[in-house]
Amino acid sequence: MTEHRRFSDSRLVVASHNLGKVREIGELLAQFSIDVVSAGDLDLPEPEETGLTFEANAELKALAAATTANLPALADDSGLSVVALNGDPGIYSARWGGPGKDFNLAMKRAHEKLSSLDSTDRSAEFVCVLTLAWPDGHVETFRGTVQGDIVWPPKGDRGFGYDPIFQAKGMQRTFAEIDPAEKHAMSHRADAFNQLVDACFG
């Protein structure tokens, strides 16, 4: 059984400039007495995501923030993986939105690529990898997933990213249509976060 490092600090950096991710992670951390600050709050630079996996990019971002801020840092690398598109957009999920990370553009691109195929398979999964890093270079990394299907047109104005076109298995509404608390109970980020809590905060 792997020995995990316990989190015992009073302050934590959320290593993201994505306000939606920062908000969701902040809400998930609200149950703990931790002073949560974002990379944006501290004017930390965004490192180039050169990894070829969600894990590599999450660790890269967490370590960059932890060493620069000299504080523990939590980074998220997440994306949409569509079966009929051979796992795309995957780690390039944000980049499908162009330089401005416009997710309306990204969702349209995903829809157009699916529409051009003979396949009617619309199954997909959201993946979230969370890495908690310390300034000394130690990392703890956890992967969460949720299965679902791509729907069109986009529905709902809650959530962020690809949420308006993702409908989890067994649900009739997209992630952008459900209450945030409901999403937190079963999302890919919640799955990874629960593993993190059990290992490092429990």
Q: How big is the chain by its Cα radius of gyration, in Å?
A: 17
- Token readout for 41 is 């709050």
Active-site annotation holder among 35, 41, 77, 191 = 77
Q: If you count them, how many residues does the chain have? A: 202
Q: Which two tokens stand for residue 82?
A: 């569509």
Task: Name the pTM for this structure.
Answer: 0.91
Residue 23: the pLDDT is 85
Which residue bears the tokens 């195929």? 117
Tell me the per-residue pLDDT of 121-175, one tens digit each, with 9 for 90 and over. Answer: 999 999 999 999 999 999 999 999 999 999 999 999 988 899 999 999 999 999 9
Residues 136 and 122 sit within 8 Å (Cβ to Cβ): no
Mark out the alpha helices in the chain (DSSP H runs). 19-29, 54-69, 103-115, 180-186, 188-196
Q: How confident is the model at residue 21, as a pLDDT? A: 80
d(CA 116, CA 52): 26
Helix, coil or strand: residue 59: helix
Residue ranges of the chain with per-residue pLDDT less than 70: 1
> What are the DSSP calls for 14-45, one per residue?
E----HHHHHHHHHHHTTS--EEEETTTTTPP
Q: Is 77 a catalytic residue?
A: yes
Question: How distant, in Å, are the alpha carbons of 50, 67, 132, 181, 189 from that of 63?
Answer: 14, 6, 8, 29, 19
Q: Report the pLDDT value the prediction gives residue 42, as an integer from 0 to 100.
A: 93
Between β-strands 35-38 and 11-14, what pairing exists: parallel, antiparallel or unpaired? parallel
Strands (DSSP E) contained in 70-196 are 73-82, 123-133, 139-150, 166-168
What is the residue whose two structure tokens read 């429990």?
A: 202
Whole-number Å distance between alpha carbons of 146 and 133? 24
Q: Return the sign of the alpha-carbon dihedral for residues 160, 162, 165, 171.
A: negative
What's the CATH architecture for 11-201?
Answer: Alpha-Beta Complex (3.90)
Q: Residue 1: its pLDDT value, please? A: 55
